[in-house]
Chain A
Amino acid sequence: MPDNDQPELPGSGKERLSPIPDPHDPGSVQHRETAVAGEEFSVEKQIDLTQKSYSQGELIRRRFFHHRGAMISLGFLLFITLMAVSSIGYGFIPGWWPKDYTVTSTVTDGGRPSLSLFPPVWGEQPFGQDDVGKDYFALTMRGTQRSLTIAFTVGILTTLLGTVIGAIAGYFRGWVEAILMRITDLFIVIPLLVLAAVLGQSSGGGIWPLAIMLSLVSWTGLARLVRGEVLSLREREFVTAAEAIGTSPWRIIFKHILPNTMGTIIVSATLTIATVILLESALSFLGFGVKAPDTSLGLLISTYQNSFTVRPWLFWWPGLIILGIALSVNFLGDGLRDAFDPRQSRSSD
């Protein structure tokens, strides 16, 4: 019986110096590893090669479409938008609802809404009439249309402004960054609503000037987020590589950096839309946003808040629609966030 602790004699052919394991020696270290690697003790995840593999974009899309809350919200939002646009028409496109929101008529049944879910009845005035007999369904749809127009315009403009300024501030640093940070500080001392109210007052009540004014105040949040992302991305190797081969800064920003911040931008744009819906309605409620003869959901609530005890439906419909839109946009944003960044969602646990 040879002593196992003693090294093998040189020249005996069992010095174990060769990197190739001796196939006849089951005790050799290498042999043990190769024997175990493919079996169930592996720490590596088993990759099932029979399934289809997905690209990054497909993965995000799949996650998003499997998010139940986001899908319900998307459905609701599309439904409201379609309703608002198709019922009373948009611009020269005629709608299917026969009544006009400006025309007064005789008040029937105290202006009570004729809509009921059980039994399902649509009726003459589904949302009722106001005190001068205007059809409230047409009025609410018009308000929804206006509020949605403002929200989406501001959402798009804000996203463009915020992305560009944030990217410049993050990539070039310098004075753009300093100004951006000081403007952000400004929002601590002047509340967003106050600033928006002063600018809304100067816009004179039209929806397009109002939308532009609101875009001017609501881009800072996104700009800060994008700046933060760009700050960390510009230190990455692929940016250094691009710089090394002489790529121009603008190409680096738009081709190399911004595609990597897409998730943040899309999520933030969604949440901006929710904020703007609320901001616009609050401004119109205070009298600094959309002004009569045009209308918006906030203005409707403001106009009819005192008739709550006599005609509560004048108050409920626009409020519920604002709540519904804001809620569904927020859930949509949440679904998008989970799709882009699944770390905080349950499915990854």
Chain B
Amino acid sequence: MLRFILRRLGVSALILFLGSVFLFFITVLSGDPLEDLRESRERTAPQQMEARIRNMNLNEPWYVRYWIWLTGVARCVTLNCDLGTDSRGADIGTALVNAAGSTLRLVTLATILAIIIGVTLGILAAIRQYSGFDYAVTFAAFLFFSLPVFWVAVLLKEYGAIRFNNWIADPAISLTATIVIALLVAFTLASLLGGDMRRRLVTGGVSAVVAFAAITYFDSVGWWRQPALGLPLIILVAAAAGILLTYVAVGRSNRKIFYAALTTVAAGAVGWFVFNGWIVTPTYPLLLLMFGISIVAAIVIGWFWGGWDRNIAIWVSIGTATAFAFATALDQLLRNWGPFLERKPRPISTIGSGSPNFSGPFWTGVWDWGVQLILPTIVLTVISLAGYSRYTRASMLETIRQDYVRTARSKGLSERVVISKHALRNALIPITTIVAFDFAGLIGGAVVTETVFGWKGMGAMFQEGLQRVDPGPVMAFYLVTGTAAVFMNMMADIAYAFLDPRIRT
């Protein structure tokens, strides 16, 4: 396994190097960096030209300039990077540090969300082939495939930011909107859960009533401005996650795993009281510490309940504990939505990745950058979700038709075991290979999205650099995104080897 990883790493480094030579060359070739000054009638134009030639080493041929850049980058080994100066003489390294953070945050979040949601939708669509849900997912995937990124981004900026800000000032949901939402929920759940006509009608009816009641209740208590979950809902969410995980992993019959999950929820509730002070006013290290404690507690609980199924019990407990932790964080975030609105009456600004000089308690600070992340993340997720759901559906359908799945069914295994143990793992193998390509696509998408939402991220850096025919910023962009892509590719390869033992050589 180690040799496999090392070999992949070597190949990746080589490609990264060749790519950098190629990109540097075509960037230098793409235009004349002094064009605007040549046409300029300013008196200082010759001095400016002089300065620009000095900043960009324009007197050297391109390979010497590349060599200067490469030796600067090579000094990163001693943590002393020198990425050179851009055409105006500003240091690229400092600009890069600020830009990289916001872009990588955006792209990573979008990738993870797209994989989780897309793969889930694909599996559900494949299991319920030719149902209303399948057709809806297929059509949505085609629609998302065909959407121009920038167009969606501008639309979301209008409706998700400007109109939402207007709405949140005095939030109210009309009766028609409530009914439409309730019907949508009902239709989705009914076609998802399947069954005969009567069962579908019952599922749809019940979920419509519940959704309608929930929205009306939220509306009447002013939940949109003062939302919260509260401990009972947190426990409910975590318990639901635990039961779902137990069901997927071993089925309803195995009580031990089930009890392990429930004990984890109980321990979480105790922890909630013990650490309440930290939870309300945390810092990032404290949050990490608490998360670590809950994971350790989950492992211990899984260990003691597990017996013969110790491994599964531990994994289910960890999953449940993670769900509990996220529900708690969500609860705190929601509680601080009101205070955040007081500090920032129009919460989603259309420009930038966070408001400068924002001050407030920890969780409102999280809202400040988190709320800016929502719209770009939605854009990127929606676009790459389509690919994942289509590929997963096709791959799942292919796997379900295999002989070993028919064998599994014919020897009387339950549908749950057939799908989760025999079909799913094999269907996921081809998906890992598209992760790498998709990540590259997402970075391209991020360039466009950042332009629309006015982020000072990597995308803006690349775009400005290219417009000035300045290889410095372009190569800095490449350095970060290329390395990130290689890293993602590695993760995908390891996941591949983990899922498919045949290639662990």
| A contacts, CB < 8 Å to B | 182, 185-195, 197-199, 201-202, 274, 278, 281-282, 285-288, 298, 301-302, 305, 308-309, 315, 319, 322-323, 326-327, 329-331, 334, 344, 346
Contact = CB atoms under 8 A, between A and B. Distances in A.
Interface string B1-30: 000000000010001101100110011011
B441 A201 contact: no
B452 to A, nearest CB: 8
B95 interface: no
Nearest to B477: A194
A334 B394 CA distance: 13
Q: Is the interface of A mostly helix, strand, loop or mixed?
A: helix
B443 A202 contact: no
A286 B18 contact: no
A188 B483 CA distance: 10
Interface of B: 11, 15-16, 18-19, 22-23, 26-27, 29-31, 130, 142-143, 145-151, 154-155, 158, 162, 394, 397, 436-437, 439-441, 443-445, 447-448, 451-452, 462-463, 466-467, 469, 474, 477-478, 481-482, 485-486, 489
B149 to A, nearest CB: 6
Contacts of B436: 188
Contacts of B145: 274, 326, 330
A182 B18 contact: yes
Given A198-B30, A278-B146, A327-B142, A189 B440 contact: yes
Nearest to A281: B148
Given A202-B31, A323-B151, A344-B397, A191 B448 contact: no
Interface centre among A190, A282, A323 (most CB of B within 10 A): A190
Given A188-B436, A198-B474, A285 B30 contact: no
Given A198-B27, A202-B31, 18 more contacts: A182-B15, A182-B18, A185-B11, A185-B15, A187-B437, A188-B15, A188-B439, A189-B481, A192-B444, A201-B467, A301-B148, A301-B150, A301-B151, A319-B155, A329-B146, A334-B142, A344-B397, A346-B130
B147 A323 contact: yes
Contacts of B150: 281-282, 285, 298, 301-302, 305
B462 A194 contact: yes
Q: Closest 4 CB pairs between A and B?
A: A193-B444, A326-B146, A191-B444, A202-B30
Contacts of A308: 154, 158
Contacts of A274: 145-146
Contacts of B443: 191, 194
Given A190-B478, A323-B151, A344-B394, A202 B26 contact: yes
A348 to B, nearest CB: 12
> Counting chain A CB atoms within 10 Å of each CB, which of B18, B142, B150, B151 scores highest?
B151
B467 A189 contact: no
A278 B445 CA distance: 11
Contacts of B30: 198-199, 201-202
Contacts of A186: 15, 18-19, 22
A185 B437 CA distance: 9
A198 B28 CA distance: 9
B481 A197 contact: no
Nearest to B393: A344
A187 B440 CA distance: 8
B142 A322 contact: no
Contacts of A301: 148, 150-151, 154
Contacts of A344: 394, 397
B471 to A, nearest CB: 10
14 contacts: A187-B437, A188-B485, A194-B443, A197-B447, A198-B474, A201-B30, A202-B29, A281-B150, A282-B148, A286-B463, A287-B463, A323-B148, A327-B146, A346-B130
A344 B125 CA distance: 14
A57 to B, nearest CB: 26
B447 A193 contact: yes
A298 B452 CA distance: 13
B430 to A, nearest CB: 13
A78 B478 CA distance: 41
A201 B15 CA distance: 24
B151 A190 contact: no
B367 to A, nearest CB: 26
A186 to B, nearest CB: 5
A323 B466 CA distance: 28
A192 B441 contact: yes
Contacts of A281: 148, 150
A205 to B, nearest CB: 11
B16 A330 contact: no
Contacts of B448: 193, 282, 285-286
Contact of A287 (B143, B146, B467, B481): B467
Nearest to B158: A308
A302 B452 CA distance: 10
Contacts of B481: 189, 191, 194
A204 to B, nearest CB: 8
Interface centre among A194, A199, A287 (most CB of B within 10 A): A194
Nearest to B141: A330
Contacts of B477: 194
A198 B26 contact: yes
Nearest to A196: B444
Contacts of B151: 301, 319, 322-323
Contacts of A322: 148, 151
Contacts of B440: 187-192
B482 A190 contact: yes
Nearest to B147: A323
A288 B447 CA distance: 12
Contacts of A327: 142-143, 146
Contacts of B154: 301, 305, 308, 315
A192 B485 CA distance: 13
A91 to B, nearest CB: 28
B138 to A, nearest CB: 9
Contacts of B482: 189-190
Contacts of A305: 150, 154, 452
Nearest to B471: A198
Given A182-B15, A323-B151, A327-B146, A188 B437 contact: yes
A327 B141 CA distance: 10
Nearest to A320: B151
B64 to A, nearest CB: 20
Contacts of A182: 15, 18
B437 A323 contact: no
A298 to B, nearest CB: 7
Which of A192, A193, A305, A329 has the most CB atoms of chain B within a 10 A radius of its CB?
A: A193
